[in-house]
Amino acid sequence: MVNDKSLKAIDESRFSKAFIRPLYESYGFSNVIGTIESILTGKSDKKLPEDVLGNLGNEFDTVVLFFIDGLGWRFIEPRLKDNLVVKKLTSNGVLSKLTSVFPSTTAAAVPTMNSGMEPVETELIEFRQYNEKADDIIMPIKFKHGYKSRVDLTKEFQLSPSELYPAKNVYKEFANEGITSFTFLGDSYANSEFNKVLMEGSNMFSYITLNEGLYELSKLIDQPAQGKRFFYFYINSIDDIAHKYGAGSPELDLEIDNTLRLIDELLLNKVREKQSKTLLLITADHGHDVFDPEETIYINKIIPEFEDYLKRNANNEPILPGGSAKDLFLYIKPDYVDKAKEKLEQSLNGVAEVYKSKDLLDQGFFGSATPSNRFKKIVGDLIILPYNGQSVWWYRGDKYLKQAKGQHGGLSRNEMEIPLFAYPL
């Protein structure tokens, strides 16, 4: 069944004419892990409304979560009538619509899912974001400088990964409750410092192909359990293809259909009805917008003097934007914030909306917790949110956007609306 209450809630979460709000208090991505905690431990302060499980109840000993990067609602809705896997999941389970977190990025969503904390608490929001100790833009997920490939964050700024990533994670908490956790990640990134910290306390498995990963997962699920179990399986291929070819491309449609088919063949058909107390959840971190990278608007081209408005670091270099072409975070000198906002609104009329970061913070767009002073510096002073089909960035003479036809990070429906399947195995 399709959960109509969730559809209505997301439809009513409008913000401005073109955007929607993240629903941290109800049908939001940030509450998925809380629902899993509630099922396995009976304890959780934050969880999804009970109707996301329909009549399935919550008496499960094992939960399997597929975190499919980039599989937005826009890709599921047209498959409701003709995709056999989607029809199976929906007819025998529950399909709800959720909102992503803000920014609608993997950089924000993965820490939220693995820690149970909102972006305002994890303080990880983007691929590129400001760091107070470096006094510059860094890439926390890769532990690199945001724009200078040769800068060593440890040598230059005495930064360590442990300072950037949340110490809390659900796997250590599950272990304390006697719950065994298993995490499946692609082989090329499974052993990154980021993942090692976030997944600590779980039994980590890396896979080269999706076939391999699903086969190993189904074998583990079928093994006799000595207690309650949690399986986390992350898939990145759909997001990779969406970035390269864009939403609506045949390459992306093939990847989505193939991923769903493999999950059906190698998991659903193998363990169905063997595991009477196992719940399968499938969700995504965000959707995708599609645009022509050749049409990207560059702030410093349309407003040549804009660099004068930017704050400067200890080396007297301008602090360049954080975020992406769908959610730019700008770090503006205090005396220029209002002027910069006015100039941007005039130049980007019909292309994007411009907000003071403080206003979005105060309205809870990053979560309900009180932001630290450090987080206030991370989100900067102004945020640019382009409309569907539009992109705005900072020109540096490189080809940052030239190969990217798909992007996300903003508040449009295409980026923010995501599915949640609940299905009994």
275 has pLDDT over 80: no
Quote the distance between the C-alpha of residue 162 and its chain's center.
Answer: 21
Judged by phi (left if over 0) then psi (alpha if -120 to 50, else beta), residue 314 lies in alpha
pLDDT greater than 80 at residue 295: yes
* Residue range(s) in the chain whose domain bears CATH number 3.40.720.10: 4-119+165-288+412-424
- Identify the helix (H) or strand (E) that includes residue 393: strand 392-393
Please check whether residue 419 is in contact with residue 96, taking contact to mean a CB–CB distance below 8 angstroms: yes
User: Which amino acid does the sequence have at 130?
Assistant: Y
pLDDT for 188-234, tens place per residue?
Answer: 898 888 998 899 999 999 999 999 999 999 999 988 888 999 999 99
- Residue 151: what pLDDT? 87
CATH number of 4-119+165-288+412-424: 3.40.720.10
Q: Are 330 and 379 in contact (CB under 8 A)?
A: no
Closest by Cα among 308, 299, 409, 305 to 351: 299
**CA distance linking residue 275 with residue 277, whole number of Å:** 6
- H or E stretch covering 245: helix 237-245
Asked if the model's pLDDT at residue 65 lies above 70, the reply is yes
Give the dihedral sign, CA 217/264/81/79.
positive
Determine the topology of domain 292-404 in CATH: Gyrase A; domain 2 (3.30.1360)
Map residue 204 onto helix, strand or coil.
strand
Q: Give the three-state DSSP class for 424.
A: strand
And the tokens for 347?
């130049």
Cβ pair 293, 403 in contact under 8 A: yes
| pTM attached to this predicted model | 0.95
**Side by side, which strands form the sheet with 382-386?**
322-324, 327-330, 382-386, 352-356
What is the predicted pLDDT for the residue at 287? Answer: 97
Q: CA 39 to CA 265: how far, in whole Å? A: 26
Q: What is the pLDDT of residues 130-171, one digit of tens each?
A: 999 999 999 999 999 988 888 888 998 999 888 899 888 999
Q: Which residues pair with 97 in a beta bridge?
A: 419
Strand locations in 34-113 (E): 62-68, 94-99
Q: Is 220 helix (H, G, I), strand (E, B) or coil?
A: helix
Distance CA 245, CA 240 (A): 9
* CB distance 183 to 205 below 8 Å: yes
* Higher pLDDT among residues 192 and 341, named by residue: 341
User: What mean pLDDT comes out for the span 326-341?
Assistant: 97
So what's the pLDDT on residue 399?
55
User: Range(s) for CATH 3.30.1360.180 in the chain?
Assistant: 292-404
Cis peptide bond prior to 103, omega within 30° of 0: yes
Q: Does 279 score more than 90 pLDDT?
A: yes
